[in-house]
Amino acid sequence: MSNTIIGPALSNMPWEDRPAGSQDVLWRYSQNPVIPRDATPRSNSIFNSAAIPYKGKFAGVFRVDDTRRYMNLHVGHSEDGITWDIEPEPIEWQFDDEELATFVHRYDPRVVWLEDRYYVTWCNGYHGPTIGIGYTHDFKDFHFVENAFLPFNRNGVLFPRKINGKFAMVSRPSDNGHTPFGDIYYSESPDMVHWGKHRWVMGTKPWTWQSTKIGAGPIPIETTEGWLMIYHGVLTSCNGYVSQADQPSARSTAPGL
């Protein structure tokens, strides 16, 4: 029953022990929030951060909503993963096709080291929300690749290595609003541009914390027992959505493995 993470050790990963008496599988950092909502001059809120080890320190891409409520992505850097320096200006993407360059909104990023670069995926506005794919080598120049899917989609998360020779992504098909449904699907691609072989992975469960919709969280973690995907669920109360994050799936083995 031993289960070991596959991958390099992260010796400087910030860590706080489980509180005394707690039996929780995940626990909150006692000094939350790590990122204050006004970490940039015009930010109204900063959240859904995507942090990654970078050159012995940490880099990240952050969702910053400004006071106009524009949602955009900003780069941040940190020595220790706790204290962050968020850039006041959003990332300026380089586009091959100017039609894709029109800004609508960009939010909820994920970052992963994959093959030879850092890939970023996020919810990208293009006639509706879909999954934008881009990359950077240095957290300075960012190249936009393509929207992976037709609208409407959210929570697109790349796997950290090719699976059976293909790039792999999980995502949650949505609608054009606040989406009162949502399951997780798996897709694969030879080139990060064309995606196919879409397969349903897992869905909602009535009368639970994940009764309305679910969505993948951070980059899946490969273990000796399979892929560990941490996902969030949403239930609908009489006062709207209640989101419950950081629930580990027992073990979600990606299709094709």
Task: Quote the least distance from Cβ 148 to a copy of itself, whole Å.
Answer: 7
Q: Are 175 and 222 in contact (CB under 8 A)?
A: no
Q: Of 30 and 224, which has the nearer Cβ to a copy of itself?
A: 30
d(CA 237, CA 233) in angstroms, rounded, equals 13
CB-based contacts of 191, cutoff 8 Å, min separation 6: 167
| SS3 assignment, position 100 | helix
Q: Of 78 and 171, which has the nearer Cβ to a copy of itself?
A: 171
CB-based contacts of 141, cutoff 8 Å, min separation 6: 94
Q: Are 216 and 229 in contact (CB under 8 A)?
A: yes
Task: Quote the least distance from Cβ 200 to a copy of itself, whole Å.
Answer: 4
Task: Quote the least distance from Cβ 194 to a copy of itself, whole Å.
Answer: 4
Q: Among residues 126, 165, 166, 167, which one has the least CA distance to residue 149?
A: 126
Q: Of 15 and 207, which has the nearer Cβ to a copy of itself?
A: 207
Q: Of 139 and 159, which has the nearer Cβ to a copy of itself?
A: 159
Q: Among residues 110, 122, 136, which one has the least CA distance to residue 220?
A: 110
Task: Quote the least distance from Cβ 29 to a copy of itself, whole Å.
Answer: 19
CB-based contacts of 240, cutoff 8 Å, min separation 6: none
Q: Of 160 and 182, which has the nearer Cβ to a copy of itself?
A: 182
Task: Quote the least distance from Cβ 34 to a copy of itself, whole Å.
Answer: 21
Binding footprint of a copy of itself on the chain (CB under 8 A): 23, 41, 67-71, 99, 104-105, 125-128, 130, 146-153, 171, 173, 175-176, 178, 181, 183, 185, 187-191, 193-200, 203, 207-209, 211, 235-241, 244
